[in-house]
Amino acid sequence: MKKVYFKTFGCRTNIYDTQIMMQNLKDFELVKNEDEADIVVVNSCTVTNGADVSARGYINAQNRKGKKVFVGGCGALSKGKELFDKGKVFGVFGHSEKEKLNTLLKKEDRFVQIGDLKSLDKSVVEDYLGKSKAFIKIQEGCSFRCSYCIIPYVRGDARSQDESLILEQIEKLASHGFGEFVLTGTNIGSYGKDKGSSLGRLVQNIGKIRGVRRVRLGSIEPVQIDESFREILKEPWLERHLHIALQHTSEKMLKIMRRRNMVKDDLELFYELESLGFALGTDFIVGHPGESEELWSEAIEKIREFPLTHIHSFTYSKRDGTPSAKMRDVVNGSIAKKRLKELNGIIAEKNYNFRLKNRVPLEVLVEDRRGDTYMGYDQFYNKVAIKSKTDITKEWISIGEYDVQKDDNRAEF
């Protein structure tokens, strides 16, 4: 049997997609070491130029090793044909084709098989080997058209997975010992809009499944937090951390980006959630075209008002085919990096202060080990480093006494 290695770039959705591919591999041996592989399958990301560069560099390295390379994921749609034409990959396949991977890897001739952007996975993920938590993709695609984003063009419009299939997966994974479930997708807040349901109703039903100890949500848009979602905010199994995508805190920049949220409404929402004890994260793009010094100053002044604890921030990356790619008033790269550092410094301080003020017992799922230190995340999605003489990997532990450090919390168990 030919040996296959999977390399995953990008988001949690890609982690789930790789699991789907692995599960449908029947006539090949799966290996954990790329050097042992005859075939390398790259599940690529294309959200930024950096993501494209990382995938391309990895593919070039595998070519030098003489591996037979196949590429899927979002990068297959944006850069796959280019890689194929240059002879860098043997095969290119789109999202709708990943469940056919076993057949695709048997092809004798090079191919590009993109498929469509309307499909939904039919496979049920039953295990995540070597993982402490399970990722569940509840929907695919996005119907928003923010000016900077290429993802709707490589994932398609929003479409929801059948609730019965989602619950079946969680029931099976819970029976295999998984207690934390991370709900993922391209735009999970849109779940149910096409099926007469909602994210809140889905999560409520997930919480009823025996064995579910914690439900963690991917990024949600501010405008998607409706009454059905508010009904689950006090449930004990909902992680006390929410990631709500602002993207910017200048009203004018939000209009330039073609966003649907407004700063005033966002701030009210964040204060509401803070009052319920949530740690709050967000996405933020720095250096988008049109981000003048005046608008940046406005944004920074506002960001200080938000009760934020986490941030996924990055400098703007031009994506061909998006409206932003044609905009003028481009921000110099060195200026964007300086602004990014300023922003991250503010949120790091906010996170530290949050951990100092919220000295409550931490419920930690231990994920891995580094030497004699175990690492995990608490209910607020803060990292906890734990010294222990016994192996506590994959265990749930409660920590009452701990030290708050700048980068993490530290304890002994």
Confidence at 125, pLDDT banded by 50, 70, 90: confident
pLDDT at 118 (0 to 100): 93
Confidence at 330, pLDDT banded by 50, 70, 90: very high
Q: Which of 46-50, 230-234, 378-382, 385-389 has the lowest mean pLDDT?
A: 46-50
- Mean residue pLDDT of the chain comes to 95
Using CA atoms, how far apart are residues 52 and 47, in angstroms rounded to an integer? 8
| Domain assignments of the chain as residue spans, ordered by start | 3-113, 134-357, 362-412
Query: What residues have CB less than 8 Å from 364, skipping those under 6 apart?
Result: 376, 377, 378, 384, 386, 396, 397, 398, 399
When pLDDT is averaged across residues 144-165 and rounded to a whole number, the result is 95
When pLDDT is averaged across residues 1-23 and rounded to a whole number, the result is 94
- Percent of the residues in the chain that have a pLDDT greater than 90, as a whole number: 94
Span 261-290, pLDDT tens digits: 999 999 999 999 999 999 999 999 999 999
CATH number of the structural domain 134-357? 3.80.30.20
CA of 38: how far to CAs of 4, 8, 67, 207, 213, in Å?
6, 17, 6, 42, 40
pLDDT at 50 (0 to 100): 86
Confidence at 320, pLDDT banded by 50, 70, 90: confident
CATH 3.40.50.12160 fits 3-113, yes or no: yes
Q: Is the pTM of this model over 0.85?
A: yes
Asked if 165 contacts 119 with a C-beta cutoff of 8 angstroms, the reply is: no
pLDDT at 406 (0 to 100): 95
Answer yes or no: is pLDDT of 239 > 90. yes
